[in-house]
Amino acid sequence: MHGVGDPTGDEVSMTEMTRRERIMTATRKKRADKLPFFSLWRHSQIGWAERECRNRGMGMYWQRPPYIMKMHGVKSTETQVIASGAVVLRRTYSTPVGSIYLDEKREPGVEQWKGLASWRDVSPWQTERLIKGPEDYKVLKYMVENTEYIPYYFPIEQAMDWLGDDGVVVDRLPHSPMQMLMIDWIGSEGGRFFIHHAKYPDLVEDLYRAISKSREPLYEIAAKSPAPITSCGDNIDGVLVNPKLFQKYFMPEYEKQAKVLHEHGKLMQVHMDGRVGVLKDLITKTPIDIVEGLTSPPMGDLLIGEALSLWKDKVVWTGFPGSVLILGPEAVKKHALNLLREVGSGDRLVIELCTETLLSDENLLLLTSILENADLPLTKEKIDRIERSLA
Amino acid sequence: MVRGKYLASLKESIVNLDFNAVVETAKEAMDAGVDPQIAITDGIVLGMTIIGEKYETGEYFLSELVVAGEVMKEGMKVITPYIKGGSAKKLGAVVIATVEGDNHDLGKNIVTTLLRVHGFEVVDLGTDVPTDTIINAVKKRKPDILGLSALLTVTMPKMGEAIESLKMADLREKVKVIVGGSPVTSEFAESIGADHCAANALEGVKKCMEWVTPRETR
């Protein structure tokens, strides 16, 4: 703990936690001094409002990969083509068993904001996926089986150095095997994944098993990285990932991953910002430590208080709903105060200001005004006081 | 096989999500001289209705809804060429689109399939559709309903832009507007002046049917 106005932290009489301590204390299921809140690096603007909010207690959260990957015997080329009347980037992978390609549409500003994002914070979109028909499976399987994962901790160490006590750095892994197929390689446009799964179950399952096997070294690599938490890379929504799929393909992979991570004292996180009500009982049975991005109604379908009651061995990092942010400050204020009122003491909870879009300065400042005063444990009196301070 | 058995088999093949069975049964039914319109309404559509009921009760999920739609299309491919004298009377016309900047189409496609099953004529403009294209389609097609979909919070304002453009073009009073997509809420729909926010595909289709069905015949 650092003393207020004492950057060395030597002053023992002061008890204010750093942003990192606050997030990690709650994440390790202990009581922090205040409700931790942070901005996700990918969606955080940079400027006076962001600086002011960080000075007033807002933490930062970075996800970075702890690995690099090499594909052996695979040649990759990129070219610009016109497909369906639009200019797209075509990436072709050539292997000894055949070639496959993907097309990617990029809006203005892609790669000029953060990561691959555009000025509007939108990532490139694949208009053609690697798997188009049954003949493409064998090529992708070859690529998967010839992918080598190599530890590379520089991005993690650099971010940890830069952030220091200002926030938390998390290992970012790719989507888990079935979600790679669902989101990345077959894709869900027009329900393509479901159709492939129904029409070619053997091909889908065979490739799933190959990906799962290829990922085993990656879990060891993540477990040994200096970051305290590993995000397994998934993006769970119960509408796409229904209970049958979750139970059959996702839970076993989480078990496998958690075993390795927990042996090294690391925490496992999964991003679940969709409507996960239909999965709530199954989630209880997973070894996941942190349900990240959980979004309350009206965007999600599970109240955060209910999730905390149900998942007693888990921590919830809740994402503030984008569909409330878009309605402006009055709606944001109302939702934030309601959220505080439904989460009991506020333990095992961390607030992510948004996990999917940029916040306006107005919303950022308002949320900070509410959360900077959310001392734990939360009580009705404290929340009423916060509400009066906003009037 | 008597007609009833073909129809039952068509229905079952949809409910069982069986691509091979629907094609085989459809061929057999057409060879046996079953009326193609009856094969559709009393076989395939009935099967889709059961799928919808199973979805609503939580027995089936989105995956089954999507696959059933595909199974249905396979069966329709066999039956449609046998229809003579034009198609059946349409219940209503819908123009549907995912708004500009948004490439998600899963929800929109399910709604489109279900609307067609229920007898709507649907013009699907696709994804990432500029507002001007939507307005031009409404002008040209004169639909009863305009459906707008978005899955990204950043693209939701495009729905409001489309409704404003309808007003500017004097079209707003001539078309019902239904919006949908995971982040789209009733509150947002109201704020942009939409007529309805679909809670899910089935509920949205029910609302569309309600709009085009005279009150006394509902």
* pLDDT, tens digit (0-9, with 9 covering 90-100), for A138-162: 999 999 999 999 999 999 999 999 9
pLDDT the model gives residue B86:
57
How many angstroms separate the CA atoms of A133 and A176, rounded? 22
Share of chain A above pLDDT 90, in %: 82
pLDDT digits 0-9 by tens, A350-369: 999 977 777 899 999 999 99
Helix axes B62-79, B19-31, angle to 10 degrees: 30
- Model confidence over A228-241: pLDDT tens digits? 999 999 999 998 99
Tell me: pLDDT of B217 over 90: no
DSSP string over A301-363 = SS-HHHHHHH-TT-EEEEEPPHHHHTT-HHHHHHHHHHHHHHSTT-TTEEEES-SSSPPPHHH
User: A245: buried, middle or exposed (CB in 10 Å: 19+, 13-18, 0-12)?
Assistant: buried
d(CA B214, nearest CA chain A) in Å: 32
Please give the average per-residue pLDDT across A125-135, as a whole number: 94
| C-alpha span between A103 and B200 (Å, rounded) | 30
Buried-exposed string A313-327: b where 16+ CB fall within 10 A, e elsewhere: ebbbbbbbbbbbbbb
Break chain B into its structural domains and give their ranges: 3-82, 92-217
d(CA B106, CA A237): 13
* Alpha-helical segments (H) within chain B: 3-15, 19-31, 36-39, 45-56, 62-79, 106-117, 131-141, 157-168, 186-192, 201-212
- The residues facing A39 across adjacent strands are A60
Answer CATH for B3-82 from 1.10.1240.10, 1.10.3210.10, 3.40.430.10, 2.70.98.90: 1.10.1240.10
Confidence of residue A12 (pLDDT cuts 50, 70, 90): very low
Positive or negative, the CA dihedral B23, B39, B88, B125 is negative
Structure tokens at B211: 């709009």
Separation of alpha carbons A367 and A369, rounded Å: 5
Q: Could you tell me the two tokens for A330?
A: 């009055």
From the list B89, B56, B87, B94, the residue with the least C-alpha distance to B180 is B94
pLDDT of residue A14: 52
**What average pLDDT does the segment A77-89 reach?**
89
What residue in B sits closest to A242 (Cα-Cα)? B61
pLDDT digit string, tens, across residues A269-317: 999 998 999 999 999 999 999 999 999 998 899 999 999 999 999 999 9
pLDDT tens for B36-61 read: 989 998 999 899 989 989 988 989 99
Q: By C-alpha distance, which of B144, B141, B84, B151 is closest to B115?
A: B144
Residue A388, token pair as written in the block = 């009066």
- Sort out which chain B residues have CB atoms less than 8 A from A198's CB and list them: 17, 19, 63, 67, 70
- What value does the mean pLDDT take over residues A249-262? 98
> Length of chain A in residues, anyone?
391
The two tokens of residue A1 are 């703990």
Distance CA A45, CA A43 (A): 7
Decide if pLDDT at A1 tops 60.
no
Q: Which residues of B touch A325 (CB under 8 A)?
A: 153
Of A242, A322, A323, the CB nearest to B63: A242
For residue B215, the distance in angstroms to the closest alpha carbon of chain A comes to 31
User: Which range (A5-9, A123-127, A135-139, B193-197) has the least confidence?
Assistant: A5-9
The mean pLDDT value of chain A amounts to 92
Q: Does the domain spanning B92-217 belong to CATH 3.40.50.280?
A: yes
Dig out the tokens for A340 from the structure: 């505080």
Q: Residue B62 is nearest to which of A120, A239, A331, comparing CB atoms?
A: A239
Pairwise CA distance, residues A123 & A101, whole Å: 19
Token pair for B65: 């809804």
In this predicted model, what pLDDT tens digit does every residue of B115-141 receive, in sequence order? 988 889 999 999 999 999 999 999 999
Q: What is the CA radius of gyration of chain B?
A: 18
CA distances from A145 to A76, A260, A276, B89 (A): 16, 21, 32, 54
Q: Is B152 part of the contact surface with chain A (CB cutoff 8 Å)? A: yes
DSSP code for B43: I
> Residues 105-164, chain A: which have Cβ within 8 Å of B?
105, 107, 120-122, 125, 127
Q: Is ipTM > 0.90 here?
A: no
pLDDT attached to residue A10: 36
Strands B196-197 and A125-128: unpaired
**Collapsing DSSP states into helix, strand and coil, what is residue A204?**
helix
Identify the residue with better confidence: B86 or B174. B174
B156 to chain A, any CB pair closer than 8 A? The answer is: yes
In this prediction the pTM is 0.88
pLDDT given for residue B216 in this prediction: 61
How close B58 comes to chain A (CA, Å)?
9
